[in-house]
């Protein structure tokens, strides 16, 4: 398991960046580089359930390990979800990465926001994560700053 980190400075307040990260209209915009039609469903409770799903309804089941809105959220990944909604948190494949974290920190930087993200992944997913986060955070930045990217 490796920890990858990404950071960008966004010329917008914390609350606006937070809303773009987690708002249903904008979440699928910046996460499209991980998979088209990505959605997130959460009860926004520490220890509750959060689902990161693709357009087929498949993906990951996670929990919020730590939450201090709009400053930080830490997701702990628990397992997989199939398109029928069945959760797998016990298979050998899942146990290899279950408990890995995905962290988002938003820091007020003189009226701007420093967005720092960290994700723990197996080496085989490194390129996918690098592409997803690099391009995705560019979209977050452009949405928050009201700048058009054209086609990324």
Q: What is the pLDDT of residue 52?
A: 94
φ, ψ at 14 (rounded to 5°) = -50, -50
Question: Number of folded domains in the chain?
Answer: 1
The domain of 119 spans 2-145
Q: What is the pLDDT of residue 150?
A: 56
- For residue 134, being part of any structural domain is answered with yes
pLDDT score for 125: 85
Asked if the structure places residue 124 within a domain, the reply is yes
Q: Is 27 within a domain?
A: yes
Q: What SS3 class is residue 91?
A: coil
Q: Is 152 a domain residue? A: no
- Inside any domain, residue 39: yes
Q: Long-range contacts of range 83-87, CB-CB < 8 Å, 24 or more positions apart?
A: 83/56, 83/57, 83/58, 85/57, 87/61
Which pLDDT score, from 0 to 100, does residue 53 have? 93
User: Has residue 122 been placed in a domain?
Assistant: yes
Nearest to 152 by CA among 141, 143, 140, 139: 139
Is 151 a member of any domain?
Answer: no
Looking at residue 12, which CATH number applies to its domain? 3.30.530.20
150 is a domain residue: no
Q: What is the pLDDT of residue 35?
A: 83
Per-residue pLDDT for the chain (152 aa), expressed as one digit of tens each?
899 999 999 999 999 999 999 999 899 999 999 888 899 999 999 999 999 999 999 999 999 999 999 999 999 999 999 989 899 999 998 888 888 999 999 999 898 999 999 999 988 889 989 999 999 999 999 999 987 665 44
- pTM of the model as a whole: 0.91
Residues 6 or more apart whose CB falls under 8 angstroms from that of 14 comprise: 70, 71, 106, 108, 113
């Amino acid at each position: 398991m490796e920890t990858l980190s990404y950071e960008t400075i966004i010329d917008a307040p914390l609350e606006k960046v937070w809303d773009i990260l987690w708002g249903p209209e904008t979440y699928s915009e910046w996460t499209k580089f991980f998979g088209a039609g990505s959605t997130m469903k959460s009860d926004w409770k520490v220890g509750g359930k959060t689902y990161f799903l693709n357009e087929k309804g498949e993906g990951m089941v996670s929990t919020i390990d730590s939450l201090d809105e709009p400053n930080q959220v830490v997701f702990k990944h628990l397992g997989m979800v199939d398109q029928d909604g069945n959760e797998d948190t016990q298979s050998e494949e899942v146990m290899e990465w279950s408990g890995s974290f995905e962290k988002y920190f938003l820091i007020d930087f003189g009226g701007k926001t420093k967005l720092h993200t960290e994700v723990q992944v197996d080496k085989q997913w490194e390129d996918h994560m690098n592409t997803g986060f690099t391009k995705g955070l560019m979209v977050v930045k452009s949405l928050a700053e009201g700048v058009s990217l054209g086609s990324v």
